[in-house]
Structure 1
Amino acid sequence: MKNCDSDLSSMTIALTDDANTYAYPPDVALEIQQASPASYAVAADFLNVSNVDLVSLQHEFGIFGGEAGEFILGLLSGLNAPIVTTLHTVLANPNPAQRRVMDGIIKHSSRLVVMADKGRRILQDVYDVPTEHIAVIPHGVPDRAFIDPAMAKHKLGLADRTLLMTFGLLGPGKGIETAIRAVPALVRDHPNLLYMIVGATHPNLVRDEGERYRDSLVALATELGVIENICFVDRYLSLDELLDHLAACDIYLSPYPNEAQIVSGTLAYAVALGKAVVSTPFWYAQELLADHCGVLVPFSEPDALGAAVARLIVDGASRSEIRTRAYERGRAMIWSSVAKQYLKVFSDVRFERRSGASRAIRPVNDEAWNRALPPINTDHLAALTDMVGVTQHTKFAVPDRRHGYCLDDNARALLLLSELSTLRSLTPHEEQLALTYAAFVEHAWSPKDNRVHNFMGFDRTWLDDAGADDAHGRTVWALGAVAMRKDDRFLDGWAAARLLEMAPALVALTTPRAWAYGLLGISKLLRRFPGHRNLEQLRGELSNRLFQRWSDAAAPDWIWFEDRLGYDNARLCEALIESGHDTGNESHLDAGLDTLRWLMTLQTAEAGHFRPIGTETFGSDRRRPQPFDQQPLEACAAVSACLTAARVTSDVRWKREARRAFNWFLGANDLGIPVVDVERGACFDGLHPDRRNANQGAESTLAYLSALTAILSTAEQDSSSSRAARVVELCAAGTKPLRRVPNGVRTGLPEDRPEAQLSCGCPNP
């Protein structure tokens, strides 16, 4: 599978019978003790903690502990991930215990895989499993060249022999006795015939009775006088050894004594290598050997088996035709083909699980989603930050220092704390965090290059050359937010000076997001210093560029700035809305609002909740949005852009859109689960089709905190405006003078400090 999907990672959970120990390969992460129910629960817990996307269970009766293998149900019932179960046996007449276990497996499995159509029919007819719940995927086989057996026999020193073969773990129930009884008649006409029985005795059989069964076969061959024509290869062969032996055989025998055999890996291998097969008509053989891909003979009839083999020995043309047909059929069974089919099932299951959760989402106007907003908590942000800056990534909640830092996240963090300071006073620790992020921004600036670095290793060395476009624009944005407000530590002076130094370089950048971020920062500083000619000219240049991008790319069915959707999409709309409003450019404002309407329509699921543009959409021209993976950054951008649209248009519908986007964090999403830990202020790294990403990195956490800050700030401003309107209404007669008195409410604008509300001094409430 890894050859088909380079991004795939996997682990193996092995089942160990209590009496043995095994030298498992490194990919075995955990062992289950067969007879210990608690061991199955531990395995489920381990897989949940490992945050696996999907569990593939290989089920066979007789392997797992408990009556009919019932202990496996304890593992399945404890798993969070979806389960795809491959059934190596499908019983048409199960006993009560077997039926109970099968019903449990069916209940917990998102998909059942069988290796023959007969298995599908039994699942439907006996177990009432819906067709769409079943996948038929052939038994996998190695990809070997089609060669003449004579070449392989020479390698084994058997060039002068007519070679028959059966392989697999030796034990009763495989019909070997029937094949041995067919040998005497064959030897009379073909004295050079050799029947090779390859494989060690089944270990459970050896444990219970030693080699009694193998000895009985030797005794039978001796009694029939053909012991010299039968060769027992009593050992485990490596895969290459096994395939070399199989390649050498002229005719492969599969003499199972009853039909209730739903799959046979040994028969699959024989067909895949293009062997002429003589088999009894058990279920799997009937399907695999159909259309003259082999010869079927009655059960437990040595004479019929021998006659079929004799005909193939003398009829080279018929034998060759069967071999050719078998090899062609085996092409569909090679591991690369089977792996692709399994990957398709795995992908389908994950998306189906997402769809099921999506249908459970409540309507978007449900008041439950509009309950009180959570408080802002920066504990997790602080945990991600050291004396250098905020680290990029985590493993679960633990900072992952191997990936170091980036300017993008430190600029976002500085922007967040600047915005948060308008809502409430920063704590002393938050004040220190702001200085740390400012220091990182300062260090990232390269005056000689007139550009910024973005990525820094944990050893404090820059990992890139100066010249990161989007990080440059985002830094100007953060600096504008800091410079907009007076600061007792004169951070505003530092930020204004650095912005004026960095902003002119924006005209040399080519990415529209860099322009948009820069516009947002420039607009903030111009609120404090309106009339700054250089900044006004730069704002005009960048907004014209962004508008031209929209004009060039937009079409009736594609109202956007580019031929493709990317990340942080709504920021493009927000920048044009903001600059269009501030400059009075109606064309720019209308284009920004139109693109935001179009984008929010695309980001609306069928059930009405917010669905961010999925990362699978990125990189494809004019492709309609794919639902996954969903990133917190998109929800944050949508919140901010919609609130900006609400502010400049006074249309409350935009506020409802902003709240709809924010509710994605709280659980109004395709999976119906929260994406945040509100107690710590941590945000998970998005949604996969069937689960949330358990990591809680800086970008995601900052997206959540920024969106929450924006929503709370707007709510506070609405509350302040409502109180002011109340005062005006009470004093319409103008009998009392209006004055400002402190009340602890902030609007976020410099001229509104100290915080105040309008009051006439009346005793009226």
Structure 2
Amino acid sequence: MKIAYIGTYPPRECGIGTFTQNLALAMTGKNHQGEKIHKRLIIAMNDYDETYTYPPEVKLTIRQEQQADYLKAANFINSNGVDVCILEHEFGIFGGSGGVYVLPLLHHLKIPIIVTLHTILENPTYTEKAILKEICKMADSIVVMNQMAITFLTSIYDVPSKKINLIEHGVPDIQFDKKQSKTEFKLKKKKVLMTFGFIGRNKGIETVIKALPQIIKTHPEILYMVLGKTHPNVLRYSGEEYRNYLQLLIKNLKLQDHVLLLNEFIDETELFKYLSACDIYITPYINEAQITSGTLTYAMGAGCAVVSTPYWHAAELLQNGKGRLFNFNDPDDLAYTLNELLDNPDKLKEIQSKALKYGKGIKWPKIGEKYIDLAQDILKSTKKEILNEEGTIIDPLILPPFSLAHIKRLTDDTGIIQHAKFGIPNLKEGYCLDDNARALLMSLMAFNQKKNSLALELMPVYLSYIHYMQNEDGTFRNFLSFNRNFLDITGSEDSFGRTIWALGYLIGNAPNDAYYQNGKLVFFNAVPNFGKLKSIRSIANTIIGICYYLKSNPADEEMLSQLKNLSSKLVTHYEENSTEDWKWFENLLAYDNGILPLALLHATQILNDDYMQSVALEAMNFLTEQTFNNGYLSIIGNKKWYVKDQERSMFAQQPVDALAMVLMYYQAFLVTKDKEFLNKLFLSFMWFLGENDLRMSLYDFDTKGCCDGIENYGVNRNQGAESSLAYLISHLTVLKAYEKLYQTKEFKAANPSKIMVSS
């Protein structure tokens, strides 16, 4: 078996690195004949700009904040005959917001994945929770180190218990004689208290120092040793402020002869020699939120009597007399506990004996065997699922329940607020025509498809806004401040086109005559401006609006002429820019790209123009090739777009682009009856729910809104109108597509027991 390990690794000074090294050695050591049992391949995480001289087993490194490195690592693992991958997960060692960059890596792996979770937060941020849930979904098995971790995963992160395995933290199989160690360190006449590990304020070392004056009154032979460097993150942002504070505290309490701060990262052999000289090991952490402690496990493995605050791992591990607990930030309680043990050597030896017995069961060779058994079980029972592109994969049961809660939150009696700070309306940004046009379209769809009463209630607000923003010449203003002041004279052509789309749809789908007449009035006031449009996206949006109008008014020759004229302009753009390897309307792929083929597909339905249809499908196929290389939708980023013969932009991916793809594939299905377009439609929709470059859901299940996009640091958590409306229109389109699919003879024949699902 060949195993890949992803984590930090020595010589990087990091507890996770030591764990990764020990686990790899335990799983890939030699048998009694001296033969290697399994092969190992290490992918080491580098922090920031640091580099390290790694041993030969490290075959590749990942720079923490370089997203491309993560995908290179996935490709490297996939192409090197690896059977299973073990990821050591800890917040802070992976790049992006909350460590999001690790998600694409896991998604691209084609082998089973075991994830060891070193930290599980009881009160995670939205991003931390979303990332950990996604990691757990992609993992074939999850390893935790105590029962509390299992409780957190099942109750907070909704992880199935059958996926979770409890394998305790291993300890090195190293033993030293206590008397010899004390003699070597010249501690023969000392009672040694010890704390080791990276130093930071959360360690609570000052609690021990403050307790010492009460202890040395009766035990003047006490020496408290603190072994460990300041944590690199603490050093980066606060320097040695905490260590200086401890040194000043030691001086003020006149404890210079009783406290030793050793500022070193000690190797394991030397560490266990110190632990063997230790009489009582102390972990004085200042709060309970510590699910795993390697230092605590090491102390137990070395047979130390442990005294600790009741953080989660300690409270569980020290049960049944294996150690003693004292209250958080309570020097008096610690002094009482230590004096009691020091005054009763038999009690102290009993605790040491129980700790040593426990430690024998968690030596690394035994822990390695448990991981090997787990990996072999997974390989026997699990095969990585690969997307099957045959058949139709559209599944409405995956969709979250349809909700207009966030849209209602964003809407007042003027219109829909265009921006939000997280899920809260940002009134400072006011309103815009684009979003109110989208909101009108969405509310019409929601009422027609679901008879949603709230949609009907909100609909006149959006239509009134559109009417209010129309100028006498039929053009529209776009922006309105929160106090209802106009912020422009004439809005963009894009906002004009989107409004015509919504009005055209309204004319064909009005809930009653009042809406129909109002929409028709505004629509025809705008018609004189159709021929003046220059922006191809405005032209495309306007084409779609005209097509919806013509579906209910097919005899309108003047509007047919407008459609032919605008469609011809779009085709001309394609002919002027298209080349053998660039089948597109411009020399770049920018924003809202799917709208361009979508418009011609709509026009094809009305005009029955075969050449126009061929242009639309050719452009659509080109766009598909650029955005579906990895089996999921990877939107052209709006940061720099994708200029012909240059590098495409990955970030500032926006929900409206996903919406355009959903609508484009739906229309392609209506025109061609090819069900493969429904597969692409559904995959495009799943971009919202995590099938994207970051493997993060943009839909917020709490607020019922949609995040504003994918940035290089992670998900943009603001949930403005544009993004949330894009999600809802896409959601409704998926349901409509499923309904159309259900109506086909082939689907009915293949699924005789299927019933309609309304999400």
Provide TM-score, normalisation by structure 1: 0.50
> Cα–Cα, structure 1 residues 401 and 69, in superposed 2: closer, same or farther, change >3 Å?
same
Secondary structure at 2:716's aligned position in 1? coil
Partner of 1:445: 470
1:455 matched to 2:479: yes
How far does residue 701 in structure 1 lie from its aligned partner after superposition?
0.5
Q: How does 1:654-665 map to 2 (within 5 A)?
A: 654-665=677-688
> Cα–Cα, structure 1 residues 113 and 628, in superposed 2: closer, same or farther, change >3 Å?
farther
C-alpha distance in 1 between matches for 2:470 and 2:748 = 46
**Is the Cα–Cα contact under 8 Å of residues 405 and 458 in structure 1 kept in the other structure?**
yes
Q: Counterpart amino acid of 2:618?
A: D
> Cα–Cα, structure 1 residues 365 and 47, in superposed 2: closer, same or farther, change >3 Å?
closer
Secondary structure at 2:406's aligned position in 1? helix
Partner of 2:536: 512
Q: How does 1:523-672 map to 2 (within 5 A)?
A: 523-606=547-630, 608-618=631-641, 620=643, 622-672=645-695
Match of 1:384 among 410, 417, 429: 410
C-alpha distance in 2 between matches for 1:208 and 1:73 = 18
Unaligned runs of 5+ in 1: 1-40, 52-64, 76-94, 115-138, 140-167, 171-201, 213-257, 261-359, 730-742, 747-765
C-alpha distance in 2 between matches for 1:718 and 1:46 = 36
How far does residue 704 in structure 1 lie from its aligned partner after superposition?
0.5
How far does residue 203 in structure 1 lie from its aligned partner after superposition?
7.4
CA RMSD of aligned residues (A): 4.7
**Is the Cα–Cα contact under 8 Å of residues 668 and 677 in structure 2 kept in the other structure?**
yes
C-alpha distance in 2 between matches for 1:542 and 1:675 = 35
C-alpha distance in 1 between matches for 2:562 and 2:492 = 19
Unaligned runs of 5+ in 2: 1-120, 132-193, 205-224, 255-262, 266-383
C-alpha distance in 1 between matches for 2:126 and 2:744 = 53
Q: In the TM superposition, what whole-angstrom CA distance separates every residue of 1:669-704 from its partner, at most 9, and x where no partner exists?
A: 222222113565311111223422111111110001
Q: In the TM superposition, what whole-angstrom CA distance separates every residue of 1:405-433 from its partner, at most 9, and x where no partner exists?
A: 10000000101112223312131x32120
Partner of 1:143: none
> Cα–Cα, structure 1 residues 635 and 68, in superposed 2: closer, same or farther, change >3 Å?
same
**Is the Cα–Cα contact under 8 Å of residues 362 and 668 in structure 1 kept in the other structure?**
no
Q: How does 1:36-115 map to 2 (within 5 A)?
A: 67-71=196-200, 97-98=227-228
**Is the Cα–Cα contact under 8 Å of residues 451 and 468 in structure 1 kept in the other structure?**
no
How far does residue 533 in structure 1 lie from its aligned partner after superposition?
1.4
> Cα–Cα, structure 1 residues 592 and 96, in superposed 2: closer, same or farther, change >3 Å?
farther
Q: In the TM superposition, what whole-angstrom CA distance separates every residue of 1:60-102 from its partner, at most 9, and x where no partner exists?
A: xxxxx97444457899xxxxxxxxxxxxxxxxxxx99538x87
Provide TM-score, normalisation by structure 2: 0.50
Secondary structure at 2:651's aligned position in 1? coil
Q: In the TM superposition, what whole-angstrom CA distance separates every residue of 1:293-326 from its partner, at most 9, and x where no partner exists?
A: xxxxxxxxxxxxxxxxxxxxxxxxxxxxxxxxxx
Q: Counterpart amino acid of 2:676?
A: R
Q: How does 1:145-294 map to 2 (within 5 A)?
A: 209=251
Q: In the TM superposition, what whole-angstrom CA distance separates every residue of 1:478-537 from its partner, at most 9, and x where no partner exists?
A: 000000124324211221222122133022121000000000000001010102111111
Partner of 1:675: 698
Partner of 2:736: 713
C-alpha distance in 1 between matches for 2:389 and 2:472 = 51
**Is the Cα–Cα contact under 8 Å of residues 681 and 705 in structure 1 kept in the other structure?**
no
Q: Counterpart amino acid of 1:689?
A: N
1:434 matched to 2:459: yes
> Cα–Cα, structure 1 residues 705 and 66, in superposed 2: closer, same or farther, change >3 Å?
farther
Match of 1:477 among 493, 501, 507: 501
**Is the Cα–Cα contact under 8 Å of residues 392 and 406 in structure 1 kept in the other structure?**
yes
Match of 2:447 among 421, 429, 436: 421
Match of 2:722 among 676, 691, 699: 699
> Cα–Cα, structure 1 residues 72 and 538, in superposed 2: closer, same or farther, change >3 Å?
farther
**Is the Cα–Cα contact under 8 Å of residues 416 and 721 in structure 2 kept in the other structure?**
yes
**Is the Cα–Cα contact under 8 Å of residues 396 and 757 in structure 2 kept in the other structure?**
no
**Is the Cα–Cα contact under 8 Å of residues 407 and 471 in structure 1 kept in the other structure?**
yes
C-alpha distance in 1 between matches for 2:705 and 2:548 = 28
**Is the Cα–Cα contact under 8 Å of residues 642 and 649 in structure 2 kept in the other structure?**
no
Secondary structure at 1:422's aligned position in 2? helix
Partner of 2:166: none
**Is the Cα–Cα contact under 8 Å of residues 578 and 589 in structure 1 kept in the other structure?**
no
C-alpha distance in 1 between matches for 2:436 and 2:507 = 16
1:685 matched to 2:711: no
C-alpha distance in 2 between matches for 1:44 and 1:724 = 44
> Cα–Cα, structure 1 residues 46 and 364, in superposed 2: closer, same or farther, change >3 Å?
closer
- In the alignment of these two chains, the number of paired residues is 433
**Is the Cα–Cα contact under 8 Å of residues 506 and 514 in structure 1 kept in the other structure?**
no
> Cα–Cα, structure 1 residues 661 and 206, in superposed 2: closer, same or farther, change >3 Å?
closer
Partner of 1:409: 435
Partner of 2:32: none
How far does residue 632 in structure 1 lie from its aligned partner after superposition?
1.0
Secondary structure at 1:692's aligned position in 2? strand
**Is the Cα–Cα contact under 8 Å of residues 394 and 738 in structure 2 kept in the other structure?**
no
**Is the Cα–Cα contact under 8 Å of residues 393 and 679 in structure 2 kept in the other structure?**
no
Q: In the TM superposition, what whole-angstrom CA distance separates every residue of 1:219-263 from its partner, at most 9, and x where no partner exists?
A: xxxxxxxxxxxxxxxxxxxxxxxxxxxxxxxxxxxxxxx999xxx
